[in-house]
Amino acid sequence: MNLLLAWPLYTPDTIWPQFKEEQIAGLFTPTHFIVLAAYALLLAVALFLSRKLTEKGVRRATVIVGALSTVCYILKSFYRSFLRDLGGMLPIYVSDLYIFASWFTLSKNKHIKRLGECFISFGSTTAGIAYILFPTTSLLVFPVWHPISIHGILYHWAILYIGILTLWKVYRPKASDFWYFFSFMTFFTAIALVLNNALPELGLNFMFVSLPIAIPILDWVYAASPVLYTIVVYLAQTVALYWVWYGGCVLARKRKETRIGGEAGLRAE
């Protein structure tokens, strides 16, 4: 704790200005909707241009984005260190876990590699969608042109793009993969809970498991019982998220097989 307090703290005007409310991007504002539209349009164009990308190309893109994300996160952590902002320094949020998962995809161990692909397909895709639909982090604090906001937008766009490509061209989900996803998320949730509870005076909320994030129903659960809130968020992120995605993939696969079978039957006639 003494070490944390010993970090240099620069003046707000030079490193973290107190922006006026009208300058901040905000939630469900015209700026937010403009960013959302651009985010969706660029994603659609990128996916269209990537339609002929091979599995090898997707794997290469995954590592490139992972490497760039690692460098950017180190730079962001350095910036946050001047503010003594431990919560913004450590990659212990669902979206941040792409950084680890991307390197796992390089592993020669089939289990570690599978874990990385599984998380990128389900976890990173969800994080990329959630960030832009309901931004509860940088866009609620900074203007859209601030480096932290720009980093957040580009990073979440990139992990959503890679997540969709991985699910489209690389990863074929199995029910048994749940244990990869479950163990990965549980590991980081445990670290998050230890840090959140060890340093309560810092207001840490890693993995969003200790404090509500401006969603009314979660506010109600937290008001009823902070412990229940933690359990609900943990199960939603670790169990429900996986099975919703897996169920969707199974339905999509069956529809595709039915359509192909129907077309084959028509040709046979």
pLDDT at 265: 53
Asked whether the whole model's pTM tops 0.85, one would answer yes
pLDDT at 18: 65
> CB burial class (10 A; 0-12, 13-18, 19+) of residue 83?
middle
How many of the other CB atoms lie within 10 Å of CB of 233?
A: 22
> Of 100, 152, 94, which Cα lies nearest the Cα of 125?
94
pLDDT in tens, the chain (269 residues): 333 333 333 334 444 556 666 677 777 788 889 999 999 999 999 999 999 999 999 999 999 999 999 999 988 888 777 766 777 788 999 999 999 999 999 999 999 999 999 999 999 999 999 999 887 777 777 788 878 888 889 999 999 999 999 999 999 999 999 999 999 999 999 999 999 999 887 888 999 999 988 778 889 999 999 999 999 999 999 999 999 999 999 999 888 777 766 555 555 55
pLDDT at 2: 36
How many of the other CB atoms lie within 10 Å of CB of 253?
A: 12
pLDDT at 14: 40
Task: Report long-range pairs for 17-24 (Cβ below 8 Å, ≥24 apart).
Answer: 19/141, 19/142, 19/143, 23/143, 24/139, 24/140, 24/141, 24/142, 24/143
Chain centroid, CA 247 distance in Å: 20
Count of domains forming the chain: 1
Domain that holds residue 41: 2-268
pLDDT at 5: 38
d(CA 62, CA 56): 10
